[in-house]
Amino acid sequence: MGLSEILGVLLGLGVLAGTTFLPKRAIRPLAAVLVAGLAFVALRITASVLVAAVVALALAALAFRFLPIVALRRVVFLAPALVVLVYATALLMYAAPGNPFANERVAAPEVEAALRAQYGVPESATEFFFIYVRRLVAEGTLGPSIKVQGRMVEDLLGPAFPVSLSLGLFALILAVCFGLVLGVVAGLKKNSVADHASMALALVGISLPNFVIGAGLIILFALWLGVLPVAGWGGYAHLVMPAVALALPNAAVIARLARSGTVEVMQQDYIRAARAKGLPESWVVGKHALRGAVIPVVSFLGPAAAATMTGSFVVEVLFGVPGMGQWFVKGAVNRDYSVVLGTAIVYFALIIAFNLLVDLAYAWLDPRIADEREASE
């Protein structure tokens, strides 16, 4: 890594640090511009320039008008963070030993130069970054795969992304439902048998990796009971075991967070006031306590949802699921730079999207956060 690359990373980090000092009056218009830019780049992969521009401008107008200031602050930070992360990923790829054109037979310098020109892979990571960004914005493509001849990266990720998305969404719903029930019940019955049993179960879920859980599910439900298929993808029966294997570790974390949130909320003054009014306990918990109890869970769900919906390589290989997890690993092993950056961009974009949803959920769960928008006007 040369001096220019180090200066580029430092400049990006400086821009990120500077976003925290922006005045409130500058956040709203700047965030709208960044929303338009991010939406345009994302839509260019599947839509024409005109359609992408119109939709991006519409989203920018909606963000400017309706998003709370806390979500707009997140946009102002995460948009340049996406650029820094992509650039850092390119630097790490180039810093790793080997290159995409190295194999058992050493290619002649002229042949390697021709291949680099064909795939847009120069010797410098900074040059590759700018070539990749220009291709992404101007041409609306994630670039050609170097190892899978004749295929674009979006052609590889396109069929895999819905698979990982459906699997991850089902796993996330299972994790949230099971974890919240377990954690809230444990928090309401603090230091009881139910509390200790729930937290012991959560500890087991955190301790066991998902491939161990998956192997146990295969032995029990596929080999012994014969009620579910061992592996493959095609029907709802194929979804159950990989979704449970992905969901249980997250459910265990959610249960612990929900328990701590419930214990803290149930000691608040407004809960005592609600009980003093003679409200039923179910109304006190469901109407007043639950919204405050899930705030720690919401914080966890942003990155957890992105990681779950982009697929787990181990779980997908174990159950034969043709999702995105395979391309995360294949791209890195094969030094397929375009595939690595393409999967990284999808992952980073999902983190940005889910963190924005978390901020919006905060504004709904805690009115004090929503009031910050009115104070900034």
Say yes or no: 46 and 180 in one domain.
no
Say yes or no: 216 and 304 in one domain.
yes
pLDDT number for residue 243: 92
Say yes or no: 171 and 313 in one domain.
yes
Helix (H) or strand (E) holding 314: helix 313-319
Say yes or no: 71 and 204 in one domain.
no
Please state the pTM of the whole predicted model: 0.81
Which residues of the chain carry a pLDDT beneath 50? Answer: 372-377
pLDDT number for residue 87: 92
Say yes or no: 182 and 288 in one domain.
yes
On whether residue 331 sits in a domain, the answer given is no
On whether residue 360 sits in a domain, the answer given is no
Say yes or no: 315 and 209 in one domain.
yes
pLDDT number for residue 359: 75
Domain count, the chain: 2
Q: Which of 321, 352, 371 is the last residue of a domain?
A: 321
Residue numbers of the domain that contains 168: 160-321
On whether residue 290 sits in a domain, the answer given is yes
On whether residue 364 sits in a domain, the answer given is no
Say yes or no: 130 and 218 in one domain.
no
On whether residue 350 sits in a domain, the answer given is no
Q: Which residues contact 55 (CB under 8 A, 6 or more apart)?
A: 39, 43, 47
**pLDDT per position as a tens digit, 152-195:** 999 988 898 888 888 888 999 999 999 998 998 888 888 888 88
Say yes or no: 70 and 178 in one domain.
no
Say yes or no: 310 and 165 in one domain.
yes
On whether residue 353 sits in a domain, the answer given is no
pLDDT number for residue 373: 45
CATH number at residue 261: 1.10.3720.10
On whether residue 25 sits in a domain, the answer given is yes
On whether residue 131 sits in a domain, the answer given is yes
Say yes or no: 208 and 280 in one domain.
yes
pLDDT number for residue 299: 80
pLDDT number for residue 216: 92
Say yes or no: 184 and 88 in one domain.
no
pLDDT number for residue 376: 46
